[in-house]
Chain A
Amino acid sequence: MLELINRWIHGPKGSKDEAKSRLKFLLVHDQVDLSPVELDAMKTEIMEVISRYVNVDKSTAEFRLEKDAGSVALVSNVPVSRVVARAV
C-alpha cells in the first residue's frame, strides 16, 4: 500500500523508461548507420575545426542524434567562451 502511494506521488520508477531511452538511441543510430564510436570521432574532428575559430569548452559540448517525425537530426550544443584572435 505504501509502495502504491509512493508510486502515485512520484510516478512509476520501473525499468520501462530505461528501455524506451535505450531503444530511441538504438533506432537513430541504426537509421543513420553511425555507431556511437563514430559519432564520437566526428565530434572530435568537428571540435578541432570549431576551435580554430572560437574557444570552446570540450567537456560541455554536446553532440547527439535525435529522431523527430521520421527524420534524424544531428543536434549539437557547443558553448563558446571567446573568439580566438585570427591571423588575417
Chain B
Amino acid sequence: MSECIVITSGKGGVGKTTTSANLAVALAQAGNKVAVVDADIGLRNLDVILGLENRIVYDLVHVIEGECRLKQALIKDKRNKNLFLLPAAQTRDKNSVNPEQMRGLVAQLKEDFDYVIVDCPAGIEQGFRNSVAGADRAIIVTTPEVSAIRDADRIIGLVEAAELPEPQLIINRFRQKMVDRGDMMSTEDIMEILAIPLVGIVPEHEEVIISANRGIPAAYDPESVVGEAYRRLARRLCGEPEVPYIALTNGGLWSGFKRLFGMTSGGTA
C-alpha cells in the first residue's frame, strides 16, 4: 500500500525542502522505495539539497506534457538505490501544471513506489493546489515564530478544505535553550495554538547548512543529530508513533563540562 505525503507550510524559508529531502532519504534508508517530487515549478531547489542538480535531463513538466516517459525523468540517487527524484522545471511557471495532471502523475508514481513525497512551494495558490491534489496526507512544517505559525494555521484550514485527513506538524529550527529562558514558544505552546498532532521536532543546527553546502542530506550521516531527528520522524510516520523525540536538552553534568571546555561542536541552540 503506497502513500503520497505532501510537505507544506504556507510561509517560505521554514525548511520544507530540507524536510522533504531528509524525510525521503530516511524513508529510503529504512528500506522503502521512495520518489521525492519537487513541485516548486520555476524555483527548483530540491535537486540542489539532494546534490543531484547535475544529472537533470527531463523534469516534471516534460513528463506531464508527454515529452518524455516518467522513468526517463526520475533521477536515481547513487547513494541509495531506493531513492528517486522527480525535479521541477526551472524555466516554466506554476500554471504549466494543473491539479488533475498532478493527480495522474502521483497515481502513476504510487504504482512503483512505497512513498511519494511532494515538496510543496510556498504560498497558497496554484503551486499549493497542485501539490495537495494527489496527496493522501499532509505534513506541515513550521518554526517557533509568529509569522510561520500564523501561515501554518492558514494552511491547516486549506488542507482540511482539500478534504485531506488531519495534517501532522513538524516543528523545525527548535532551540531548547531559548525555550528554557522563555524566549521561544515551546512545543506545547505551538500545539495549543495549532491543535494538530505533532510528528517531529528538528533542532536548529549548523549541520543543516553544511549538508546543504555539500548536497548531502543530514539523514545520510549516521552521526548527525539532525539526521537522527529525521530518521525518527520517518519511523513515526511508518507505523511506530511511539518512537521518542531526540533529546533536546543539553544533557547532564558531563555534557555541560564538555561544552565548557569546547569538546563538542555545533550544538542545538
CB of A52 within 8 Å of the partner chain: no
Q: Report the bound CA distance from A14 to B178 in whole Å.
A: 9
B residues near A19, Cβ cutoff 8 Å:
145-146, 185
Interface residues of B in 170-191 (CB under 8 A from A): 178-186, 189
Inter-chain contact B185/A20, CB cutoff 8 Å:
yes
CB of A82 within 8 Å of the partner chain: no
CB of A7 within 8 Å of the partner chain: yes
Q: Which stretch, A24-32, A39-47, A73-81, touches the partner chain B?
A: A24-32
Interface residues of A in 23-79 (CB under 8 A from B): 23-24, 26-27, 30, 70
Q: Which stretch, B69-77, B108-116, B147-155, B226-234, touches the partner chain A?
A: B147-155
Interface digits, A5-28 against B, CB 8 Å rule (1 contact, 0 not)?
001000111111101101110110
Q: Report the bound CA distance from A20 to B150 in whole Å.
A: 11
A residues near B181, Cβ cutoff 8 Å:
7, 12, 14
B residues near A7, Cβ cutoff 8 Å:
181-182
CB of B193 within 8 Å of the partner chain: yes
A residues near B179, Cβ cutoff 8 Å:
16
Inter-chain contact B182/A14, CB cutoff 8 Å:
yes
Q: Report the bound CA distance from A30 to B9 in whole Å.
A: 17
Inter-chain contact B182/A23, CB cutoff 8 Å:
no
Q: Report the bound CA distance from A16 to B182 in whole Å.
A: 6
A12, A14, A22: the one within 8 Å of B146 (CB): A22
B166 to chain A, nearest CB (A): 12
Q: Report the bound CA distance from A23 to B146 in whole Å.
A: 6
A17, A26, A30: the one within 8 Å of B182 (CB): A17
Inter-chain contact A20/B182, CB cutoff 8 Å:
no
Q: Which residue of A has the minimal Cβ distance to B179?
A: A16
Inter-chain contact B153/A27, CB cutoff 8 Å:
yes
Inter-chain contact A16/B183, CB cutoff 8 Å:
yes
A residues near B146, Cβ cutoff 8 Å:
19, 22-23, 26
- Which 9 residue pairs of A and B lie closest in terms of their CB atoms, listed nearest first? A12-B182, A14-B182, A14-B183, A23-B146, A16-B185, A19-B146, A15-B183, A26-B150, A16-B182
Interface residues of chain A, those whose CB is within 8 Å of chain B, are 7, 11-17, 19-20, 22-24, 26-27, 30, 70
Can you report 24 residue pairs joining A to B where beta carbons are below 8 Å apart?
A: A7-B181, A12-B182, A14-B181, A14-B182, A14-B184, A15-B182, A15-B183, A16-B179, A16-B186, A16-B189, A17-B182, A19-B185, A20-B185, A20-B193, A22-B146, A23-B146, A23-B149, A23-B150, A24-B193, A27-B150, A27-B193, A30-B150, A30-B153, A30-B154
14 more A-B contacts (CB under 8 A) besides A15-B183, A19-B185?
A: A11-B182, A12-B180, A13-B182, A14-B183, A14-B184, A15-B182, A16-B183, A17-B182, A20-B185, A20-B193, A23-B150, A24-B193, A26-B150, A30-B154
Interface residues of chain B, those whose CB is within 8 Å of chain A, are 145-146, 149-150, 153-154, 178-186, 189, 193, 195
